[in-house]
Amino acid sequence: MSSVIAPNASKLALLGGTKVGEVTYSKFPVFSDRAIERVVEVLRAGKAIGLGRFHSPEIEEAELTISRYHGGREVLAVGSGHAALQCALAGLEICNGDEVITTPYTWGASISCILHQNAIPVFVDVEADTGVIDPAQIEAAITPRTKAILAVHIFGQPANLQKLRAIADKHGLALIEDGSQAHGAEIGGVKVGNVGDAAGFSCMGGKVLPTTEAGYLVTPSKDVFWKAAMIGQHMGRSPEKDFPNEL
């Protein structure tokens, strides 16, 4: 609660003066009774709530549900939105010295995931009226080391995916979406997450689709999916015969 000066008060509330009132906040996230019951059921059953070799049916159910929502794309459940984005970069083989064009107006995960791949974030400013990355400024930032564009859909506002896709295709770049603040949003009738070569979503407690802490990757590419799985689920699900010694 913030302490403020009450009308006609001579002393700040934090110094012992009269408070104007109490500031209250809405409860969020709100979980249904059934959601809570399902968590308790899993805990009481003593089942592994994990990934990889310990892949639980609940995780598989979530992946399949999200996949259906995204038109059958590959979905990889991971521990956070940051992990989802880093898996996307790894699956697209973004690594040492590669440049990734992105926005500075974001949550830090969309930048730190690039740094964790030993790649270099290159910032392009946002549109003044939307807060998302400005496609008109991207081409000037492209160099021979540029490998991808990472667009952040901010506060539910999708980036201009049609223009970004056209720029990426023109220059042979990967397009990655950060949909952590825009679950369910659409632009031009297309769902966020369904345009990029890969997309990462966060499901931490403050997001539109909240859990406690989780994330997932969406991609149309089985190749990207399995390479991401080797990072995101510790090789427990990866078809090693298809990617011998890939890591």
Instruction: Indicate the residue type of 93.
Output: E
> Which CATH number is 203's domain given?
3.40.640.10
Does residue 105 fall inside a structural domain?
yes
What pLDDT shows up at residue 182?
A: 94
Asked if pLDDT for residue 80 goes beyond 90, the answer is: yes
Nearest CA to 147 out of 194, 187, 88, 192 is that of 88
Query: Parallel, antiparallel, or unpaired for β 215-219 and 198-202?
Result: antiparallel
Instruction: Indicate the residue type of 175.
Output: L
**Enclosing domain of residue 121:** 72-232
Q: What does the pLDDT look like over 156-191, one tens digit per residue?
A: 999 999 999 999 999 999 999 999 999 999 999 999
Does residue 186 fall inside a structural domain?
yes
Region 228-240 average pLDDT: 70
Does residue 130 fall inside a structural domain?
yes
Does residue 64 fall inside a structural domain?
no
Q: Which of 17-26, 152-161, 214-223, 231-240 has the lowest mean pLDDT?
A: 231-240
Do the Cβ atoms of 100 and 147 come closer than 8 Å? yes
What pLDDT shows up at residue 1?
A: 43
Instruction: Indicate the residue type of 60.
Output: E
Asked if pLDDT for residue 53 goes beyond 60, the answer is: no
Region 200-210 average pLDDT: 86
Region 35-49 average pLDDT: 81
Which residues belong to the active site?
Answer: 207
Tally of domains in the chain: 1
Q: What does the pLDDT look like over 87-125, one tens digit per residue?
A: 999 999 999 999 999 999 999 999 999 999 999 999 999
Does residue 18 fall inside a structural domain?
no
Report the distance separating Cα 193 and Cα 79, nearest Å: 18
Q: Is 57 helix (H, G, I), strand (E, B) or coil?
A: helix
- pTM of the full predicted structure? 0.83
